[in-house]
Structure 1
């Protein structure tokens, strides 16, 4: 394993213009020969965008494979990317929302989707007024890769938290505007944990509700992270505060509003999402389906 870590670090130190050559090779092999999860990707796209023709779906799928290849090499680059380069390549818009939360004395829940490249958000910790930034991660079967992903998310002063620990951590921490928690919030819950689902991209979709429960029990600031790929190697995040319709959030309001915002993002840039993810595999396990669109 030490040998593999050394190899990954050496590759990571290569300039991105060299790493993108590897990305181009991976794209060519994957798109024209391997077809990684092609059936899953095609089915997800067709179900999500029934109004699109087969030619349009094929064009989105091809762009996805290119973006996915870039995502892989950019994730490797995350091992050694400097704070300066990370901040140059990821532009953060509406940063005043973080100062607003600090002034109000409320901790922040950041909600992002699997939009490329969410792994490059780590340098946010260096520019916000909050002293503590907690990216949330999920355990994976390989302890090696879990350690590597945790290492990436701990860069720049972040304090990564495992998903099973984060809700209790938030409840036990002082809500004083000095902490920000980052959820990649469109994960698919295990079928045994599915209690709620909604309509997302024209499909019955099981969703996590942990962060939604926080909204009804604590006075927190919820912010949607809208990711945009400006050009190769450069991204932009536009932060949007999620507000309740009434005086305070009601049950499932935040989870519905987050998925609506993410849906709008994907309609604008459908090729930049992780379509290889089997997000809809547990549709039949939904016990409480909400068909109301927020």
Structure 2
């Protein structure tokens, strides 16, 4: 615990450094990884090759290098999240098509907000003050360390959010009144635990296990679903567009939302392939679906 506290104080001190300086450190890590370390190079390369079989080895290498630039920028942007001001994030994050949130509010429908691991998903938390809804709940997965779980919640709770651990979400939604006052923010392309794989779909040319907790909610309550399409405009600046996901019929059918989310996410990834988290072992359990 003592070492964790020391480390956290170091993180806070580094977080107060200006972003231009942190990006300089990001460049150093990028070149060190490119020339010497090779952190998860094989994983990233394999994921890219399997996802884009039509691309040449040269194109895969170019995407991989751009990805690692974005990845190391993300690390330092995450670090900056501890102390960055709401004013600065308003400048760095442009939120488009916010009318969808007003529309859901007027319909008195709580929102399930679906994003992918697209850089920089952590900065979306600054959306909360712009929403007509009273409560915004970033959803996170529990970590083993109580100390670091508190720090994760600290980041997610900034700007007026109330973070919820994933196992608390279902109870919270089912117990809440249908008044359109809440937004539940999922990073929804998580890999389910081996014991929780119950559904797979075709995603980026591969059979992919999918987390379906939010999909189950679509048939239990009259909720609105909103997709987050993120775009990195330039270093440290992002544009986010929001799209409502509608059912094909009067109501959502089982697995309709999870399929539509992955279709939208795949389009986002194909448009800007270097902005997704390729270092994650997304397909490590795909053989379970065979």
User: Smaller-chain TM-score range?
Assistant: over 0.9
Corresponding residue for residue 143 of structure 2: 140
1:179 equivalent among 174, 179, 182: 182
Partner of 2:91: 88
Q: 1:284 aligns with which of 280, 284, 287?
A: 287
Match status 1:247 vs 2:250:
yes
- Deviation of 1:148 (Å): 2.0
Once the two structures are TM-superposed, the CA of residue 5 in structure 1 deviates from its matched residue by 1.6
SS of the residue corresponding to residue 129 of structure 1 reads coil
Alpha-carbon RMSD across the aligned residues, in angstroms, is: 1.0
Deviation at 1:7, TM superposition (A): 1.1
| Pick aligned residue for 2:262 from 250, 259, 263 | 259
Q: Deviations over 1:58-100 (max 9, x none)?
A: 0000001100000000000000010101111111000011110
Question: In structure 2, what is the equivalent of residue 290 of structure 1?
Answer: none
| 2:238 matches 1:235 | yes
Give the aligned partner of residue 20 of structure 2.
17
Task: Give me the whole-angstrom Cα distance separating, in 2, the residues matched to 1:286 and 1:196.
Answer: 8
What TM-score, normalized by structure 1, do the two folds share?
0.96
Please point out which of 65, 85, 88 is paired with 1:62.
65
Matches within 5 A, 1:25-40: 25-40=28-43
**Deviations for 1:125-149, whole angstroms, at most 9, x for unmatched residues?**
1110100000000122343432222
1:235-286 Cα shifts (integer Å, max 9, x gaps): 0110000011111110100000000000000010000010000110001223
Question: Is 277-286 or 52-61 further displaced after alignment?
Answer: 277-286
Deviations 1:147-196 (CA, angstroms, capped at 9, x unpaired): 22221101011000011111121111112110000000000001100000
Q: Distance in 1 between matches of 2:261 and 2:207?
A: 16
Q: Secondary structure at the match of 1:276?
A: coil
Alpha-carbon distance in 2 for matches of 1:65, 1:141:
27
Query: Given the alignment, which residue of 193, 196, 204 partners 1:193?
Result: 196
1:215 corresponds, among 206, 218, 223, to 218
Shift of 1:2: 2.2
Partners in 2 of 1:99 and 1:127 — Cα distance? 10
Segments of structure 1 that go 5 or more residues without pairing to the other structure are 288-294
Q: Please identify, of 167-176 and 270-279, the stretch whose mean Cα deviation from structure 2 is larger.
A: 167-176
Choose the corresponding residue for 1:164, options 164, 167, 180: 167
Q: What CA distance in whole angstroms lies between the structure 2 residues aligned with 1:172 and 1:85?
A: 36
**Are 2:108 and 1:105 aligned?**
yes
How many angstroms apart in 2 are the aligned matches of 1:74 and 1:166?
27
- Secondary structure of 1:211's counterpart equals helix
CA distance in structure 2 between the aligned counterparts of 1:32 and 1:112, rounded to whole angstroms? 33
